[in-house]
Amino acid sequence: MAIRKTKLRKVVIIGTGLVGTSYAYALLNQGVVNELVLIDLDQAKAEGEARDLNHGMAFGNPMRIKAGDYQECHNADLVVITAGANQKPGETRLDLVTKNAKIFKGIIEKVMDVDFQGIFVVATNPVDILTHLTREISGLPKERVIGSGTILDTARFRYLLGEHFEVDPRNVHAYIIGEHGDSELPVWSHVQIGGVPLSQYAGIDNFYQNQAMTEIFENVRDAAYHIIERKGATYYGIGLGLVRLTKAILNNENAILTVSAKLEGQYGLNDLYLGVPVLLNENGIREVIELELTKKENQQLHQSAEVIQEMIDTGMKAIK
């Protein structure tokens, strides 16, 4: 693997909608980068957002924030894509695929035209499919194309388990894997609270027949629908998730996060992106962590992969 050295701590955000600007706002608050560039089809919107963020600089962390064009991607460490059509009420993430595949083709080609040498992070839905398409269109090594995957689903899962058992979510270790969407699954066999398996901690023999645990997972899986119904879109949670991902890469953390990564034999799956735990550092994905799944979990993961593969095929047709 070629070693990339992060020098500029420069991030380019493509798309200044609610997710892109929530991410930008969180980056300013946490002082993660030295330079932040906003790109949008609506140049005036990008300029307005950059000005607004700059006016908070005295209360945040010193950094350069500006609106720019695709030329700015040339020396960026990360290009984070949040652009695309939004999920509408009643619409699944997978309904979005054809619309966003065409939008992405134009974006990726423009980024690659300026000899981009950094890492792509994709947050637009359906994220697993669009991350796969980003890799196909860009031709970059798989470790340098990452999707936000189930990073937020995993955070929601840990939060709800922590709330239920009255334990700090940071001491709850749990994963949601598979598609970031309706076919995702909880890895009950690896949930731990303070290092103690949940089955032992809570005395649960069968998670699938436990009403409280079933409701927790359903609230994780359907969280986006519940939020969209009430306020129209989700953006704060994923904005913070993207900052966590950014820190892991720019700070060379070798942190384990659940993101959309390309599988090549792991979990018995090949040539597709889906949400799994990975080790992340300044080169992108160092390795995919392969959990030992139960028979049921493995079956659910393969069903999720089938859903993704069908949509990848749809997306590939849309860009050809």
Please give the biggest Cα pair distance in the chain: 57
Residues of the binding site = 15-20, 40, 45, 70, 84-85, 87, 93, 100, 123-128, 148, 153-156, 158, 173, 234
Query: H helices then E strands: how many in the chain?
Result: 10, 14
For the question of residue 164 being annotated catalytic, the response is no
Residues of the binding site for beta-D-fructose 1,6-bisphosphate = 158, 173
Tokens describing residue 2? 């070629």
Do 175 and 151 form a contact (C-beta atoms < 8 A)? no
**How many CB atoms sit inside 10 A of residue 226's CB?**
11
Do 36 and 24 form a contact (C-beta atoms < 8 A)? yes
Of the residues 180, 190, 226, 302, which is catalytic? 180
Which of 157, 146, 167 is closest to 275 using CA atoms? 146
182 — phi, psi (to 5°)?
A: -65, -25
274 — phi, psi (to 5°)?
A: -155, 170
Do 278 and 287 form a contact (C-beta atoms < 8 A)? yes
225 — phi, psi (to 5°)?
A: -60, -45
**How many CB atoms sit inside 10 A of residue 212's CB?**
11
Residues of the binding site for NAD(+) = 15-20, 40, 45, 70, 84-85, 100, 123-125, 148
User: Which sign does the torsion angle of CA 49, 78, 111, 239 carry?
Assistant: negative
Which of the residues are catalytic? 180
